[in-house]
Structure formats: structure tokens, C-alpha cells
């Protein structure tokens, strides 16, 4: 439903990618202005680290610059292509992190939510968002990816399946399970708060 | 407007709801808004979207990307990024191991290549002459 309203959006992105393929840096800047924010939000929440997300999104747009000519509008939407590149880069980045953590060069922790956690506890609404972030960080990686692709990327199930390289059925399962786990987490947190207040 | 009526209108007027004629347009938008409110998945998606909000400067991002593109074009080939990733390093190590194994087999094969006379001696149970060749078995030992 939501995608049906913005029918001109893919065409704009297709035109921008065609111009990028022809070497237009202004088109790249425009594409970054359109999708940079969404991709950064997706990467930051998937990786749990704003710095890594920034690196990943920069890499994504460098890849777009180099490979824009390979994009075929007949095969899918530009946004799906962008999120696919971002998802792959995020998985690579996560593996690098895990390896560095394994050999003791890094400690892996959520570096997006933690700085604001105390300030957010001041209001109920912000506290709920902090709980959602916490719930997201606890989801299995593929469920988290599916939930974020839906909520942040506004991708439908078919596009999520394409980004994740899975069947439509398994993408739907991941989304359903991720949402259920997130709801359970929210319900548990609400129950905990209810006990504290009583 | 019901969902069936909405689908009929979509077939009739196209996907862009904003371009539908009144009063279908308002009814469709009202239905969409109502479905969004009634749909718990959509409500959760909105919550996730709000929770995922992060500060960031798109202009700064564009500047950094363009700087990386400019720097990347001057980067020497031997610093190819995939080779520096864990997967690249693992692939290089595996390739080096395979190459070393093959080279080892090749060298050993050249050193140990048995001559026809040695194989013949081994098969017949005879000993080898100092100058090469097979020494005759005087008592028929080892003959079949």
C-alpha cells in the first residue's frame, strides 16, 4: 500500500543511476541525499555501531559509483539494489568485527543506543524506543535484517527476499518471527515496568 | 470504501492514489490511514522506524564519499580491498597452501621418478647392477 503511493520514486532513482553511470557526481550526491539517511539508519541499527554504519554506507556509495552501469531497472527497483549492497557490506563488516573480537582487537557492543540510554529514560515514549532498540539488538541477525528492511527501507516481502538472497516464504517467516520476538520483548518490558511501579 | 472497492479502483485508476478522482481519492486515503492504524504490524514498523532514527549529515556523507572516490582512483592496485578482508586473506592463504602442496608433489616426483629398470628389478625380485640394469637371478629366486 505504502509503495503504491510513491510510484515515481523508482523512476527518479533509475535516472540518477543512469547519470551516475555516465560519471555525474551531482547525481551521486542527489542519490546520497535521497537514500543516505535510510541506509545509514538501517546499517547503524543492524550493526549496532554508528561508526561502522558510516563506513559501510560510504563503501556502498563508492560501489554504486563504480557499478552503477551494472544496475538493470528491468530486474528490480534501485532502492532494493541499494539495500542489497548495504546488507552485504553489513554482513562483511559484522564478520570483520567478529574476527577482530575473536582475536582480541575489538570488543563488540552496541555503540548506537548506549550514549542516549540515560537521557531517554526520562520519558515513557523515549523509554519505549530504547526498549525497541534493545529488542532489535537481541534479535537473531537475519530476523533483525528482515524487520529493518521492512520498517526502515519500506521494502515489501519480495524485495526483502531479494535483498537477503532467500525465498519469499523464508523472508516472510523471518519477518513474522522477528516481529513476534520484538512484541514479546516489548510486552516483557512493559510487564517489568508495571511491577516496578506497583 | 472497502478493501475490494479499493482494489477495483486501483485497477480502474492506476496505482497512484493521489491521482484518483474525488471522492475515490479521499476514501482510499482514509482507508489506507485506517488500515495503518488497525494493523499491528504497521504500528510496530512505525515504532521500529522511530527507534532507528539516527543523527547524520547527508552533505558530509556525500563529501566523504566523493573524497573516497577521488582517493580510490589514485590507490595502487596492490592494496586491493577484498584481499585485506578476512575472506580475502583466508582465500590467499588457502591458495598459497594449495600452490605449495602442488609444488612439493612436483619436486618429489622429479626426485623419486623410478627408472624403468628399477621397476623391472622390483617386479622380478632382482637386484640392480651398479651401472644400472638388472642382474640376472642365478638360482631363479624371485622368479615367478
Q: What is the ipTM, given to two decimal places?
A: 0.83
Q: Is B37 in the same domain as B84? A: no
Q: Is B83 in the same domain as B134? A: yes
- Is residue B89 in some structural domain? yes
Are residues A179 and B44, on separate chains, in Cβ contact within 8 Å? yes
Of A115, A185, A111, A116, the C-alpha closest to A144 is A185
Q: Is A70 in the same domain as A142? A: no
Are residues A44 and B54, on separate chains, in Cβ contact within 8 Å? yes
Q: Is B129 in the same domain as B89? A: yes
Dihedral over alpha carbons A181, A185, A188, A193 (to 10 degrees): -160
The secondary structure of A78-135 as a DSSP string is: HHHHHHHHHHHHHHHHHHHHHHHHHTTS-----TTTGGGHHHHTTSHHHHHHHHHHHH
Structural domain span for residue A26: 1-112
Write down the pLDDT at residue A190: 82
Q: Measured between beta carbons, which residues in chain B are less than 8 angstroms from residue A62? A: 65, 68-69, 72
Q: Is A141 in the same domain as A80? A: no
| H/E element, A56 | helix A50-67
Q: Is A107 in the same domain as A125? A: no
Cβ contacts of A34 within 8 Å, gap of 6 or more? A12, A13, A16
- CB-nearest to B86 from A62, A96, A179 is A96
Q: Which residues pair with A135 in a beta bridge?
A: none
- Is residue B69 in some structural domain? no
- Is residue B56 in some structural domain? no
Are residues A151 and B41, on separate chains, in Cβ contact within 8 Å? no
Instruction: Flag whether residue B85 sits within 8 Å of chain A, measured between CB atoms.
Output: yes
- Is residue B120 in some structural domain? yes
| Full pLDDT tens readout for chain A, 198 residues | 444 444 455 678 899 999 999 999 999 999 998 899 999 999 999 999 888 999 999 999 999 999 999 999 988 899 999 999 999 999 999 888 888 777 766 655 555 654 454 554 557 778 888 999 999 999 999 999 999 999 999 899 999 999 999 999 999 999 999 999 999 999 998 887 777 666
Are residues B56 and A182, on separate chains, in Cβ contact within 8 Å? no
Q: Which residues pair with A2 in a beta bridge?
A: none
- CB-nearest to A32 from B32, B65, B86 is B65
- In our burial notation (b when 16+ CB lie closer than 10 A, e otherwise), range B115-133 reads eeeeeebeeeebeeeeeee
Q: Is A118 in the same domain as A131? A: yes
- Is residue B71 in some structural domain? no
- CB-nearest to A62 from B49, B50, B65 is B65
How many CA atoms, within 13 angstroms, populate the side-chain half-sphere of residue B49?
15
Q: Is B42 in the same domain as B83? A: no
Are residues A136 and B48, on separate chains, in Cβ contact within 8 Å? yes
CATH code for the domain in which residue A46 is found: 1.10.1740.10
A-B interface: how many C-beta pairs under 8 angstroms? 104
Here the cell at position B46 is 512505525
**Total domains in the fold of chain B:** 2
Instruction: Flag whether residue B89 sits within 8 Å of chain A, measured between CB atoms.
Output: no
Q: Is A100 in the same domain as A134? A: no
Are residues A129 and B47, on separate chains, in Cβ contact within 8 Å? yes
- Is residue B58 in some structural domain? no
Mutation target to probe the A interface, by most A beta carbons within 10 A, among B41, B49, B63 is: B49
C-alpha–C-alpha distance, residues B15 and A5, integer Å: 7
Of A162, A62, A151, A47, the C-alpha closest to A106 is A47
Q: Is A2 in the same domain as A100? A: yes
Q: Which residues pair with B128 in a beta bridge?
A: B134
Work out the number of other CB atoms within 10 angstroms of the CB of residue A96: 17
Write down the pLDDT at residue B24: 84
Distances (CA, A) of B102 to A145, B107, B109, B112, B114: 43, 9, 10, 15, 19
Instruction: Flag whether residue B91 sits within 8 Å of chain A, measured between CB atoms.
Output: no
Q: Measured between beta carbons, which residues in chain B are less than 8 angstroms from residue A44? A: 52, 54
Cβ contacts of B143 within 8 Å, gap of 6 or more? B124, B125, B137
- CB-nearest to B50 from A57, A129, A148 is A129
The last residue of a domain, from among A112, A136, A153: A112
CATH code for the domain in which residue A172 is found: 1.10.10.10
Residue B21 has pLDDT above 50, yes or no: yes
- Is residue B63 in some structural domain? no
Q: Is A3 in the same domain as A93? A: yes
Structural domain span for residue B100: 78-138
**Total domains in the fold of chain A:** 2
Q: Is B133 in the same domain as B86? A: yes
Instruction: Tell me the pLDDT band of B18, cut-offs 50, 70 and 90.
Output: confident
Q: Is A94 in the same domain as A170? A: no
Q: Is A108 in the same domain as A131? A: no
- Is residue B112 in some structural domain? yes
The last residue of a domain, from among A62, A78, A112: A112
Amino acid at each position: 500500500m505504502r509503495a503504491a503511493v510513491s510510484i515515481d520514486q523508482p523512476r527518479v532513482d533509475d535516472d540518477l543511476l543512469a547519470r551516475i553511470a555516465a560519471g555525474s557526481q551531482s547525481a551521486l550526491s542527489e542519490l546520497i541525499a535521497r537514500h543516505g539517511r535510510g541506509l545509514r539508519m538501517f546499517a547503524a541499527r543492524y550493526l549496532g555501531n554508528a561508526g561502522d554504519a558510516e563506513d559501510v554506507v560510504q563503501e556502498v556509495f563508492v560501489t554504486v559509483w563504480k557499478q552503477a552501469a551494472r544496475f538493470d531497472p528491468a530486474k528490480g527497483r534501485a532502492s532494493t539494489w541499494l539495500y542489497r549492497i548495504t546488507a552485504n557490506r553489513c554482513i562483511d563488516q559484522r564478520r570483520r568485527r567478529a574476527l577482530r573480537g575473536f582475536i582480541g582487537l575489538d570488543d563488540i557492543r552496541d555503540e548506537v543506543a548506549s550514549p542516549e540510554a540515560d537521557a531517554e529514560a526520562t520519558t515513557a515514549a523515549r523509554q519505549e524506543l530504547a526498549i525497541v532498540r534493545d529488542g532489535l539488538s537481541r534479535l537473531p541477525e537475519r530476523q533483525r535484517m528482515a524487520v529493518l528492511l521492512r520498517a526502515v527501507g519500506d521494502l515489501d516481502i519480495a524485495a526483502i527476499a531479494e535483498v537477503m538472497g532467500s525465498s519469499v516464504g523464508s523472508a516472510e517467516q523471518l519477518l513474522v518471527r522477528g516481529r513476534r520476538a520484538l512484541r514479546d520483548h516489548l510486552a516483557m518490558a512493559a510487564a517489568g515496568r508495571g511491577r516496578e511501579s506497583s | 470504501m472497502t478493501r475490494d472497492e479499493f482494489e477495483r479502483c486501483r485497477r480502474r485508476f492506476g496505482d497512484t492514489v493521489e491521482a484518483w478522482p474525488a471522492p475515490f481519492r479521499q476514501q482510499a486515503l482514509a482507508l489506507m490511514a485506517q488500515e495503518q492504524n488497525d494493523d499491528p504490524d504497521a504500528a510496530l514498523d512505525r515504532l521500529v522506524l522511530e527507534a532507528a532514527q539516527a543523527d547524520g549529515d547527508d552533505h558530509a556523507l556525500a563529501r566523504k564519499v566523493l573524497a573516497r572516490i577521488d582517493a580510490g582512483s589514485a590507490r595502487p592496485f596492490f592494496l586491493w580491498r577484498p584481499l585485506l578482508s578476512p575472506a580475502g586473506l583466508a582465500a590467499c592463504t588457502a591458495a598459497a597452501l594449495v600452490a605449495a602442496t602442488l609444488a612439493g608433489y612436483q619436486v618429489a616426483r622429479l626426485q623419486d621418478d623410478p627408472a624403468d629398470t628399477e621397476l623391472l628389478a622390483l617386479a622380478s625380485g632382482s637386484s640392480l647392477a651398479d651401472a644400472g640394469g638388472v642382474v640376472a637371478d642365478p638360482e631363479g629366486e624371485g622368479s615367478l
